[in-house]
Chains A and B, each alone.
Chain A
Amino acid sequence: DGGITQSPKYLFRKEGQNVTLSCEQNLNHDAMYWYRQDPGQGLRLIYYSQIVNDFQKGDIAEGYSVSREKKESFPLTVTSAQKNPTAFYLCASSSTSGSTDTQYFGPGTRLTVL
């Protein structure tokens, strides 16, 4: 089955530690995205990538980093510089051409900083 997988589902981190969230897709989509979701704030874009080896900052990139070495994978690292990292993180992907300009989402990772 085609889809987007995120791991782990739950992640706990101590203050001062970096942590990496995994996102993999087998939809053959060119574009991938990371969003952060906080209660009452909807989804906010952290980083996005249109193509392998290229990515751009979204609206709230400070304290986060990404890489895009493979088309299928777009891992997100939450660094110790992120002041309030506890949140629900959602990965998405989309085709960049044609009529299928729709973002499809993974199941999410809930990160809690202890």
Chain B
Amino acid sequence: GEDVEQSLFLSVREGDSSVINCTYTDSSSTYLYWYKQEPGAGLQLLTYIFSNMDMKQDQRLTVLLNKKDKHLSLRIADTQTGDSAIYFCAEPPDKLIFGTGTRLQVFP
């Protein structure tokens, strides 16, 4: 069945890079998504990648996709305190299947 897994926590120092990882099981997924959720708020779409790509860069965000291993990662360069949030990967485009979320904590 469909399942998306993420590590639960990540703690980084301000200014360092953060890498959030995700594994998925549905090899037919055509798009894979990253969402950000701040406390008490809804979900903000950060970026998504087509399954025929292996990398996408958008300002401080870099998405890497390894289809063979069904592994998706989100790298945040120069992490700021405002990046502290829960990050969810999700597949496919219609009824989104979300991972459990990775709580990113940024300390000064």
* A and B are partners in one complex rather than unrelated chains: no
Residues of B within 8 A of A (CB): none
Residues of A within 8 A of B (CB): none
